[in-house]
Amino acid sequence: MKNNKKIKNINEYRKVKKNKHKDRKQKKIKKEIVVLLFIASVSIIVINLCGYSKISQLKYEIHYLKKDLRQKEVILEQLKSELYAKTSTEQIEQEAKEKLNMDYPKENQINYIDVDS
């Protein structure tokens, strides 16, 4: 039920009317503030989610780059070991003796050359 207040004079009527107008303005302002706060909150949440999404994507890329780096390091170590096996003096000496029948020269096989300056 509505309040049936009887207004006795015009001044009271003006005050009531003015107060209703102020109340409507205040309610409208409060409603706008609530809507703005809601929009601000939602936008902050969305921005945070986008940030976390980007961070997780970068972590994913870092993980696979590290995995690729480990594979490349293993390949590099294999190549280094193959290079060492092919260039080590012991290996070269052994192959020269076995495959080419080479040996160190004896004393009578060495000839020295004199160079006049």
pLDDT in tens, 2-38: 555 666 777 776 677 777 777 788 888 999 999 999 9
In a domain, 117, yes or no: no
Percent of the chain whose predicted confidence (pLDDT) is above 90: 44
Structure tokens at 14: 């003006």
Tell me whether residue 73 is in a domain. yes
Torsion over CA: 26, 32, 35, 40 (sign)? negative
Structure tokens at 36: 């703005």
What is the helix (H) or strand (E) element at residue 75, kind and residue range? helix 10-87
Predicted local confidence at residue 3, as pLDDT:
58
Provide the greatest CA pair distance for the chain: 145
Reading the block at residue 100, the tokens are 């080419």
Instruction: With respect to residue 45, please indicate whether it lies within any of the assigned structural domains.
Output: yes
pTM over 0.85: no
Residue with tokens 């003796």: 97
Q: What is the pLDDT of residue 110?
A: 85
The whole-number pLDDT of residue 25 equals: 82
How many independent structural domains does the chain possess? Answer: 1
Does 3 fall in a domain? no
**Domain-located, residue 86:** yes
Question: Are the C-beta atoms of 7 and 13 separated by less than 8 Å?
Answer: yes
Give the H or E element holding residue 93.
helix 89-99
- Structure confidence by residue, pLDDT tens digits, 77-93: 999 998 888 888 888 88
pLDDT at 65 over 90: yes
Summarize the confidence of residues 82-107 as an average pLDDT: 86
The answer, yes or no, to whether residue 98 has pLDDT greater than 50, is yes
- Structural domain harbouring 15: 10-104
Has residue 117 got a pLDDT over 70?
no
